[in-house]
Amino acid sequence: MADIETVQIDTSDVDKWVGKEVVFAEMWDPCNATDIRRWVQAMDYPNPIHWDQEFAAASRFGGVVAPQSFAVNMDYGHGCHPACVGHIPGSHLIFAGEEWWFFGVDIRPGDHFTQQRRFDGYSIAETGFAGPTMFTRGDTVHTNQRGETVAKERATAIRYLVEEARKRAVYDKEKRSPRRWSNAELVELNRIRYDWILSNRDGRSPRFADVQVGDRLPRRVMGPHSKVTFANECRAFRQNIWGTWRWNPPAGVHDPALDDAGFAKNMTYDHAASKIDPREHDGLYRGPSSGHVNDEKGEQVGMGGSYGYGAAMNAWHLDTVAYWAGHEGYIWHSKTQFRSPAFEGDVTWIDGEVIEKLATSEFGCPIVRVQIRMTTQDGDEILKGIADVGLPA
């Protein structure tokens, strides 16, 4: 292998897609209440407006409504695919962050989305994880069946050379084995989780005038993460259920995602084989999600074992802020950076703080800006994000 200083990423096949519309795929069916319930169950978000029919019917929503985090679940590819087009020899990818803009439209059972996706471009930087690393950006606009723009996402992916990541062994399994938790520790984690559930189960919204810079959100804990929780997260994504989506490129348009979606060779799909055996295309048995629950595959792509989903971490961020903001609150904008995945055996602490208040904003209403930090039990930061939240006066 070449010295670290001389290793380069071959961008020739990626360059031709910059600025172009890419990834043409669409869900066959509208979402339903069970899809929403499955999502919040997998994301461990027990807000009753999203799963309890009687509670939701008595609320201002008049029935089960999806959380804002569910927008990514109305899409193909966990929101990341427009950032992952073009072939890079010897590469794999992981998510690096998400930015979302929302437009005041609820997602409800019966909604069907179409998407317009565009590859925005990339930058390359040296990282300790994998040497020369490509940070790619892809945009998705989500439109519902009434023609309303519901959300826009800009996803960032990290595309890296697998052999370089394995050589550096930042996440080597010898350095990090799954943590085992005592019964007493699990009891305490469950107590903190339950206290968080009770912190705003009724959905009361803080008033803008009453919120102060420095106010802290109730602390939330996720985990311990395991292959079971990772599999539940994967199965909550509608795209991973057999037969739920289709390719739909316009006539005469070639979709680069059919050729290469940026995954390592042993963690990609087999489109032809999936026509007979749908496991070949469900992500978990075969495909990019298999590395999340298969230690050997996780090690092969430099992750040292089983690890969690960036899209799930972003959902934890949105859900945590939304729970604090209550039924009258609304997240207009959110941006997250992923520092590291959530690994098997770890717990994730989620801490939030109000860092700014704006009496006027580009969203036409007063907002408070909330900063979220996610850390492991050892204090390592795995996510940092902000959310711009509208609250009642």
In a domain, 221, yes or no: no
- Looking at the predicted structure, is the pLDDT value of residue 6 above 90? no
Which of residues 78 and 36 earns the better pLDDT score? Answer: 36
| pLDDT tens readout for residues 247-280 | 999 999 988 888 776 677 777 777 788 889 998 8
pTM: 0.94
- Looking at the predicted structure, is the pLDDT value of residue 187 above 60? yes
Q: Calculate mean pLDDT across residues 155-172.
A: 89
d(C-alpha 105, C-alpha 107), whole Å:
7
Q: Look at residue 4 in the predicted model and tell me its pLDDT.
A: 44
User: What tokens appear for 75 in the block?
Assistant: 């899409």
Would you say 374 and 348 are in contact if contact means Cβ atoms under 8 Å apart? yes
Q: Which residues contact 40 (CB under 8 A, 6 or more apart)?
A: 46, 47, 50, 51, 67, 319
Q: Look at residue 141 in the predicted model and tell me its pLDDT.
A: 98
Query: From residue 238, how far is each of 27, 45, 63, 77 by CA, in Å?
Result: 8, 17, 21, 10
d(C-alpha 154, C-alpha 127), whole Å:
22
In a domain, 204, yes or no: no
Poorest-confidence range of 113-127, 145-159, 160-174, 316-330? 160-174
In a domain, 338, yes or no: no
Backbone angles phi, psi at 172, to 5 degrees: -60, 140
Range of the domain at 149: 4-198+227-328
In a domain, 213, yes or no: no
Q: Look at residue 1 in the predicted model and tell me its pLDDT.
A: 37
Q: Look at residue 3 in the predicted model and tell me its pLDDT.
A: 45
Poorest-confidence range of 26-30, 90-94, 330-334? 90-94
3-class secondary-structure state, position 252: coil
In a domain, 256, yes or no: yes
Scan for tokens 């092969």, then name that residue: 300
d(C-alpha 246, C-alpha 244), whole Å:
7
What's the domain count of the chain?
1
Residue 178, preceding peptide bond in cis (omega within 30° of 0): no
d(C-alpha 284, C-alpha 304), whole Å:
18
In a domain, 48, yes or no: yes
In a domain, 219, yes or no: no
In a domain, 92, yes or no: yes
Domain of residue 106, CATH code: 3.10.129.10
Q: Look at residue 175 in the predicted model and tell me its pLDDT.
A: 67
Q: Which residues contact 124 (CB under 8 A, 6 or more apart)?
A: 9, 11, 132, 133, 134, 135
